[in-house]
């Protein structure tokens, strides 16, 4: 009978949606790795410039609910 080693990869997620931030703060399955705030990175490349979240509050979380 083969034995399998359970490999757990670390999962990080960032969100700017206020309800999702609130849900993950309350959940015991998520650990906040960066408090809600503005990023200071900006993009000068055409299409990507609109995708930068420098004007939105974002927070980052690590999934620990394994």
pTM: 0.67
Residue 64: per-residue pLDDT: 93
Does residue 28 form part of some domain?
yes
Residue 31's domain comprises: 12-41+54-63
Does residue 25 form part of some domain?
yes
More confident residue, 41 or 60: 60
Does residue 37 form part of some domain?
yes
Q: How confident is the model at residue 20 (pLDDT cuts 50, 70, 90)?
A: very high
Question: Among residues of the chain, what percentage have pLDDT more than 70?
Answer: 67
Residue 38: per-residue pLDDT: 82
Q: List, in order, residues 6 or more apart from 25 with CB less than 8 Å away.
A: 32
The answer to whether residue 35 scores a pLDDT higher than 90 is yes
Residue 10: per-residue pLDDT: 85
CB 61 within 8 A of CB 30: yes
Does residue 4 form part of some domain?
no
Does residue 49 form part of some domain?
no
Give the number of domains in the chain: 1
Does residue 47 form part of some domain?
no
Does residue 59 form part of some domain?
yes
Does residue 36 form part of some domain?
yes
């Amino acid at each position: 009978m083969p034995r399998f080693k359970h490999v757990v990869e670390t999962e990080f997620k960032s969100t700017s949606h206020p309800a999702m931030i609130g849900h993950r703060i309350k959940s015991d399955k998520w650990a906040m790795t960066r408090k809600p705030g503005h990023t200071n990175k900006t993009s000068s490349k055409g299409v990507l410039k609109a995708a930068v979240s420098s004007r939105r509050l974002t927070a980052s979380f690590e999934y620990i609910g394994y």
